[in-house]
Structure 1
Amino acid sequence: MNTMENNALATEVAQLRAIVDGSHMGSWMWNVQTGEVVFNERWAEMFGYTLEELQPVSYATWQKLCLPKDLAISEQALDDYFNGKANKYSTEARVQHKNGGIVWIRDTGLIATYTSEGKPEWMCGGHVDITEFKENRMALAESRERLQKIADNMQGTLYQFVKRPDGNVAFPYASSGIKLIYGVTPEQVKNDATVVFKAIHPDDLARVEQSIEQSYQTLEPWECEYRVIVENQVKWVYGHSTPEREADGTVLWNGLLIDQTERKLLEKRLAQTQSQLEAAQRVAHLGYWQADVNTGEMEWSETLFLILEQDPLRFKPTVHDFLGLVHASDRDKVRRGFEPGYPGHEFDFRVVLRNQEIRWLRQWGLIHQSKSDPHLIRGTLQDITERKELELMLLEQSTRDSLTGLYNRRYFMDFIEKRFSSNRAADQNIFSIISFDFDHFKRVNDNYGHLVGDEVLRVIGRIVFDTIRETEIAARVGGEEFMIYVPGASATEAATLAERLRQKAMKHEFLADQTKFTVTITCGVAERQVTERNFQELLGRADRALYKGKESGRNKVVIAEP
C-alpha cells in the first residue's frame, strides 16, 4: 500500500471515529468465535464507568451489565440474525448503571467478517442511550391511563364529534361511557354517528339537531339537555362542547355528555314536595298567626306552637318573643315584615329551637284591610326544612366531590372560567393555579386495596381543606388529581402554599394491615398571564409544570414558565 493509500485510509478512519464520537454512540466490536470485544470510551461512560475500570473486557462484561431478562432477548435477536431470520441485529435492553440506576439502550450491529468456514467472525455495532425517550413514553402512557380512568369513572362520556360540509357526522373519539348514554360502542359511531340520533327522544330530536346546526354555523359552544331512549328506558342527558372549524369546513366539537337522569328525578321529587307543601298551606292554613304592629301582641294557631316547639299554656307570644326565636342573621328581614305600613310579604328564614336545632320556615303575611283593626297583620308559617335540605343536597351533589368533600371538576372549571373572564377586564388582578397529583398512587391501590386508596384521598383532601384560606378554592378534578385556585397570589406565593401541602402530605402516616406508609405529591404552579386567551391555556401550563416535576424525580413543586 503506497503512502497516498495509507493517508486516505487514515483519513477515512478518522472521519468514522469523528462520526461515532459526535453521535455519542457507544461503539463495540465482538469476535463471535473467541469472545474478544473492543469498546470505545463512550460505551463505558454510558454506564458510569471508565474503560479502564472495566478491564479486562470481554463478551462477559456485557453479560454482567445487562439485565438478565433483556440479555435473553438480546441473545435471541442474535440467534435470529445469525440464522437469517433478520437482516441485522437490533434490540432494546436495560443496563445496570454504576450508581444503581437503569440505562435504556438501543443495540444494533452487523457482521463485518466471516471465518474461512463461513461462520460469523467479527461483528460491529453501537449502543445509543434511549433512557429519556423511554421515560417520556412511559409518562405519556401514564397520562393516557389517567385520562382513561377519568373517562371510565364518570357517569357519561368524553368525546369528539365532527360534522363535515357534506352533512356526515361521526365520533372520531368517544370514551366507553357512550354505551351508557346512547347504547352504542365507540367503534360503532367512529365513522358514522347517525345511529345515536335514532336514540334521541322524538320530542327532543328537532331541538337537538337545531342546537348542533346553530353551533356549526356560529361556532358558539354547544349546550343542550334532552332525553334519549335506550333499551326502552328514558334517560336525561346533558351535553356541552366547544367547536372549532377546520380548513375544509369540517367542525370538530370537544366535550362531554353526562347522564342527568338521577338529578332530574330529584328535581321532580323536589317540585312535587314543594307543590304539596304549598297546597297544604293554602288549603289548611297551617301555622296561622296574627300580629298587632302597635302593641306587638300575637296570636298563634295550635300548629304554629307545635312547629316552634312552644307550650301554649306557658308561652304568650309577642312579636318581640317571636323575633327572639329567629336566627340572628335573618332577624332584620323578619322584623321589617312587622313594621307599620310594610306591604304584604313572603320570605324564608331560620329559627333556632330550644334544643338549638335550626329549622327553615316560609312566612306569608298580609295587612288586614279593616277599618276596625287597621294595625293587624295576618299570615301563615310553613316548615320547609325538608325542602331546603333537599335543595342543599342537590347543590352539594352538583358541586362537591362525594369522596373528599372538596369541589368537583365541573364546579372548578366553571369557577375558573368565570374568574378568567372577569379578570381579563381588570388585568391588574392576578391569581395562580396549583395542580397536583399523587406519585405512584397505583401502588397504594395495588398494595393495600382501593378502600385504603380512598381513605388516602379523603385524608389528603382534608389536609388541603384545612390548609387553604377561605378565599381559595380547592377541587378534586380527577382520580388522584387536585387543583387549587389562589387569588391575589403570584406563582412564587402560590408555590409556597404548594410546598406546605407537599410537606404535610409527605409527613402524614397512613396505616393499613399493621403497616405504616406515606405518600408524596408533585405540584405544578402557574400564574395567570394577561396574554392568555382562555383558562385552558393557564391550566395547561400548570399541568405541564406538574409533569416536569414528575419527570425530574417527583415529590416537588415546579413553577410553570410564563
Structure 2
Amino acid sequence: MQPLCPAKAPESANDDRFEGLVRLARRHFGVVAALLATGATDRPRVRAYDGPASDKAWRFEPFDPALHGGDALIQVPDIQVDERLREHALLRAMPQARFLAACPLPHAGGEVSGALYLLDCQPRALDPAQQHMLRELAGLAADLLAREAADARLRREMEALRASERRMALAITGSGTGIWDRNVATGEIHYSSGWKALLGYAEHEIGNRIEESYTRVHPADLDYVRATIQAHFEQRTEAYEVEHRLRCRDGGYKWVCSRGKVVERDAVGAPLRMIGTTTDITALREMAERVQRSAALMTDLTNEIPGMAFQYRRGADGRSSFPYVSGGARDIYGLAAECLMDRAEALQAIIHPDDLAHYHQSLESSARHLTPWHLEYRVVLAGQGTLWRQGEARPKRLDDGSVLWHGFITDITERKAIEAELQLFATTDFLTELSNRRHFMQQLDAELVRVRRKPDHAATILMFDLDHFKAINDRWGHSVGDQALRHFASILCTQLRRTDAAGRMGGEEFAVVLGNATLDHAIAFARRIQAELDKAPVLHGNERIPLTVSIGVTAIQALDPSAEAALSRSDMALYRAKRGGRNRIECHNGAA
C-alpha cells in the first residue's frame, strides 16, 4: 500500500476550509493530531494536517479498508495492544500514537472518497456523541469534495465549449463571396468569377439569363426568393436580403446569403439595374446550429447546477442591471430569472435588512478596486424564512465606464447551520449549557475593555461554589450531582439580564459578570440567587435535597492588568465565604 504524501500545492479554494476543519477536529476532540486524506485507498493524499511538526506524520500508510469494514467508523482504543496494528508503519512513523479514530468520507455513489483521522498519545474511546460529531465533520468534508468535483466538471465542460467556439471562428474565416449585376429591364444577369467558383462552375458553364438563375434555386426556397425580390422592386423594403439554397455543379446545395439593391430606376420608379453579392453561409449556418446547441448546453449547465450563474452590470451613472441570470434564480432569490433581469432593484426587498448596506458596500468596493467580489449574506424568502447565500464574482471595467461582474451565488444555509452548531460546541459547557471557561473569559475580557473605555461604566464579577457538593455525589451519585449543577445553572439564567454573562468554571464552580452593575447591585443579585436556591431544592424522587452556595464578589477595575486579576479577587472572596462557614457572600474591595 502506498504511503500518504502531502499535496505539493493547493488543490482548490477548499484547502483553507480543510485546514480549518482538521484544526477544529483536533481541538474539539482534544487529540494530538488530526488529518484529512482524500482519494482512492491505494493512493491517498493528505489534504490537511494539524498536529506536531514532523515529516514522519505525512508518511504513515493508510489503513486497510478491510480493517474497519470499508465505510464504517473505526476506533482503535490502544494501537500498541491491537494485534492487527502492532507492525503497522504508523507505529514506526509515530511511536507515541496510542489511540486512533478514522471516519470515511461518504460519496454520493457509495464509494469512500477519503477519511478523517484522529490520533492521540493516550488510550481512549469516543462516546456516541463524539462519534456523531466525527461523522458530521467527515460529512462536511465530503460535501466540500463533492462541490470541488462539480466545479472541476464544469471547468472541463466550459473548456470544451471554448474549443468548439474556436473551431467555429475558423469556419467563418473560410467563407467566400461572389458579386452579381442584374439588368432588370432585359432579364440579363452577370456573375463574377468568384460567384461561379463559389458553386464549382467554370467561367463558360454559367449563362446570363435570369430564367436560368432561378433553376439553380432550391425548389423549396424559390417562391420566397422571388417574393423578397419583388418587395424590393416595389420599394416596400430598403434592400433585398435572403438566405436560401443554390445548386452546385456537383448537384449538391449550398446555403447562401444574397444581398442586393436597385441602383437605377426609371422616371416612374420601375427598377432598371440591381447589384448584389452572394456569400457562402453553409459553414456559418452549421456554426449557428453548433452555437445554438452550445448555448442550449450552457443554459442546461447553468440551470441544472445548484446555484445561480449571473452577469451583473453597474453603469457609470450608478444604474444596475442583470444582463443574464440562470434558472437557479428561483432557488436562490425566489424569483424567475426574467423578473430579475427586468427589475434588478427587486433584490432590495429580498436581501436581509441587516445585510443590505454591507451587500452594496462590498459591490462598491469591488467596482472601485476591480477586486473579486466575495460575500456571505442573508435573504428573506416568502414561505422559507431567513436563508444564507454566498456570492462570488469577478469584475471588469468596460469601455463606457461601467463595471460587469460574472459570478455564481450558492445556498450555504446548511453550512452556516453547521458552523453555528460547531461554534456552540466550542463555547458551551455540555452539562449546564452555560458558557465554558474559555468563552466566559472572553466575555470577561470584553467587559474589562468597556470598563477601561468608559470611566462611568461599572461592572462586577461573582464566583459561586456549591456547598458540600462532594457529599451529594457520594450520597446520591453523580447523576444527582449533575442534576444539581443543571438546577443551579437554570436558577442563574432566570436572574441574568441581556448584558450579563454566566459560565461554568469547572466542577461545581460558576462565575457571573454583571455589566453596568455596582457592588451593591452584585450583592443584591447574589442574595436573590441564594433565596431562589433556598426556595427550590433539588428534587430526587420523593426526597428534597437542599442546596446552598458560597459567593465571592468584586468589582472590575479599569486598572486591572487583566480579566484574570478581577477573577482572582472574586475567588479570594469566595474562599473567605467558604472558610467563614459557607452559604455566605463575601466582597473583595481592594486590588488583588
State the TM-score, normalizing by the size of structure 2.
Answer: 0.45
Q: Which has the larger radius of gyration?
A: 2
